[in-house]
Amino acid sequence: MAEEVKANGALSAQAEELKTQGNQKFKEAHFSAAIDLYTQALELVPSAILFCNRSVAHLKLENYGYAEADATRAIECDPTYIKGYYRRGSAFFAMGKFKQAIKDLKTVCKIVPNDRDAKTKLATAQKELRAILFAECLERETPPPLNPENIIVPDSYQGLHLPDVVTESWVVNLMQEFKDQKKLHKKYVVMILLRIREILSRYTSLVYVNIPDNDEITVCGDVHGQYYDLMNIFQVNGRPNIDNPYLFNGDFVDRGSFSVEVILTLFTWKLCYPNHFHLTRGNHESKNMNKMYGFEGEVMAKYDAEVYDLFSNVFCYLPLGAVLNNKVLVVHGGLFAQDGIKLADIDNTDRVREPPESGIMCDILWSDPIKLNGRHPSKRGTSINFGPDVAHAFLNENGLDILVRSHEVKEEGYEVEANGRVITIFSAPNYCDQMGNKGAFIRFKGSEMKPKFTQFSAVPHPNIPAMNYARQFMFS
């Protein structure tokens, strides 16, 4: 927000110093450290400005539920503090709660009518709400399926042509083409997507993967459109093949500006080694996330709406999780809002749809672990946070040793919790070109199924920044 409005009440000298330190950490993009400092200051003085500062730090970490709660507390401390309404409106917008966002942003614009940021967000929230209402009222016929036979490749096209059988050497050549910032023709993109959908449609929602005693599998977390870091994973750990299987645990797209290259590379490796290259769905393999965080805009820039719609359809066929050697469950987000969920319940979940707002599918894609026992409101405003006791109970009831999940940036690329039984793995180093975190992946040997971590740093990429295709106004 452009205009700063003073909150009522003064901070103590100690609280003021903690706020200053928190502001410095925020400027350095150490948002978790900033939150800790603001929290310490709030323990001394419950101040509107401190709640609001913590709110914007949570926004940066995509903790939209916490951001909304802090902004609400800022308003409760000082109902005249306009930045509280702005931050809460921003949090509501990021959660897709456009009616609530519009109400708060109207309050801001009424008091500060010349604030450009608030006016832009308000207009966009109103536009999004109109689009949703229009889509609900409009009865549309399903468009005819894309037929690659009707897509002509011109003689001037100098790129790769898709073979009947995708081989390792062809995928390696494709990766080099993408590294050189060349495009695969639309016809072949459509063919890849149709072939992948056919493979994925054969799976149930939970895939069981067997790793022989002397073999290993690599599990990677979020990649988020960071194509050059994906290439580095294969450089560090070896390319996929029958003897070097992989599992990528969702959030392949959005944020990074090379999401098309990432997802097509992953899909072609899947075509090459369908039984040794595994993909599970993340919360960003969904239309509402893709609209806000860049994948829709990127596909529209590089291809067109037909290709984007086909991507969205194929994402719905991705499995929700994988079980490795009946010991390790791999899902993108985490566990459930209710007790008693069995692996069979996951397996029987209808996944071929956009993620719902509650239930097994929602929780698998959205929930997060915390260190406090029990279940608690989600920091994201969707699903829950679950404690070590919930994790232990679920794993014990289902005969599992470990839960591996992703979904959260970690400074070291991974984090181990719940006495070693909950692991977060995140494979997008220097997330969004600003977080400074390491990336990591895990290897499991079949005979042991004990995690071995490898960390790696970000590598250079072409001068196209992260979030280039995202809706920038959301993150101000």
Pick the closest to residue 21 from 43, 9, 39 (CA basis).
39
Residues forming beta bridges with residue 442, ordered by sequence position: 219, 453
- CA distance linking residue 363 with residue 28, whole number of Å: 32
For strands 328-331 and 321-324, give the pairing: antiparallel
Catalytic residue among 58, 185, 284, 461, which? Answer: 284
DSSP count for the chain of H helices, then E strands = 17, 14
- CA distance linking residue 248 with residue 263, whole number of Å: 11
- First vs last C-alpha separation in the chain: 7
Catalytic annotation present for 284: yes
Residues forming beta bridges with residue 422, ordered by sequence position: 403, 417
- CA distance linking residue 429 with residue 226, whole number of Å: 9
- Chain centroid to Cα 9, Å, comes to 38
430 φ/ψ sector (left φ>0, alpha ψ -120 to 50, else beta) = left
- Chain centroid to Cα 364, Å, comes to 13
Residue with tokens 């062809």: 170
- The DSSP letter of residue 426 is B
- CA distance linking residue 380 with residue 355, whole number of Å: 15
- CA distance linking residue 260 with residue 227, whole number of Å: 9
Q: Which positions are annotated as active-site residues?
A: 284
